[in-house]
Amino acid sequence: MDKFLYTVDEIRAIERAATAALPPGTLMERAGQAAARFALELIDGARHQPVLVMAGPGNNGGDALEVAANLREAGVDVTVLHLAAGTPSFETARALQRARDKGARFVDELPLGERFALAVDGLFGIGLTRPLEGGCRTLAHDLDRSSCPVLALDVPSGLDADTGNVVGGATAHRAVVATHTITFIGNKPGLYTCDGRDHSGEVRVDTLGIERQHFVPAHAQLNAPELFANDLLGSRRPQNSHKGSFGDLVVLGGAQGMAGAAILAGRSALFLGAGRVFVAALAALPPYDSINPELMFRDAAGCELRARTLVAGPGLGDQPDAARLLTKALDQGNAMVIDADALNLIAGTPDLQQRLTQRVAPTVLTPHPLEAARLLGVTSAIVQADRLEAARELAARFDATIVLKGSGTVIATPGGDVVVNVTGNPGLATAGTGDVLAGICGALLAQGWGEQQAAWCAAWLHGAAADALVYEGVGPIGLSAGELPAAARTLFNAMVSEAKPLPL
Q: Is 463 annotated as a binding residue?
A: no
What contacts 149, CB < 8 A, 6 or more positions away? 42, 117, 118, 119, 179, 180
| CA–CA dist 68, 51 (Å, integer) | 9
Q: Is 113 annotated as a binding residue?
A: no
Look up residue 97 and give its DSSP letter. Answer: H
Q: Is 108 annotated as a binding residue?
A: no
Closest CA to 98 of 71, 120, 52, 65: 65
Q: Is 434 annotated as a binding residue?
A: yes
3-state secondary structure of 475: coil
Q: Is 128 annotated as a binding residue?
A: yes
Q: Is 324 annotated as a binding residue?
A: no
Q: How far does CA 331 lie from the centroid of its chain?
A: 32
> Where do the DSSP E strands lie in 246-316?
248-253, 276-281, 296-299, 309-312
Q: How many CA atoms lie within 13 A of 46 on its CB side?
A: 14
Q: Is 405 annotated as a binding residue?
A: yes
Q: If 0-12 CB within 10 Å is exposed, 13-18 middle and 19+ buried, where does residue 300 land?
A: buried
Q: Is 315 annotated as a binding residue?
A: yes
Residue 281: strand pairing partners = 253, 299
Q: Is 62 annotated as a binding residue?
A: yes
Q: Is 188 annotated as a binding residue?
A: no
Closest CA to 504 of 125, 108, 230, 313: 230
Q: Is 195 annotated as a binding residue?
A: no
Q: Is 417 annotated as a binding residue?
A: no
Q: Of all helices (H) and strands (E), which one includes residue 152?
A: strand 150-153
Distances (CA, A) of 499 to 223, 235, 296: 16, 10, 32
3-state secondary structure of 225: helix
Cis before 476 (ω within 30): yes
Look up residue 348 and give its DSSP letter. Answer: T
Q: How many CA atoms lie within 13 A of 70 on its CB side?
A: 21
| CA–CA dist 109, 269 (Å, integer) | 57
Q: Is 169 annotated as a binding residue?
A: no
Q: Is 247 annotated as a binding residue?
A: no
Q: Is 407 annotated as a binding residue?
A: yes
Q: How far apart are the first and last CA of the chain?
A: 18
Q: Is 185 annotated as a binding residue?
A: no
3-state secondary structure of 457: helix
Q: Is 165 annotated as a binding residue?
A: no
What contacts 373, CB < 8 A, 6 or more positions away? 379, 380, 382, 383
| CA–CA dist 359, 409 (Å, integer) | 24
Please check whether residue 285 is in contact with residue 254, taking contact to mean a CB–CB distance below 8 angstroms.
yes
Q: Is 368 annotated as a binding residue?
A: yes
Q: Is 406 annotated as a binding residue?
A: yes
Binding residues for AMP: 405-409, 434
Binding residues: 59-63, 121, 125-131, 154, 157, 261, 315, 368, 405-409, 434-435
Binding residues for K(+): 60, 121, 157
Binding residues for (6S)-NADPHX: 59-63, 125-131, 154, 261, 315, 368, 435
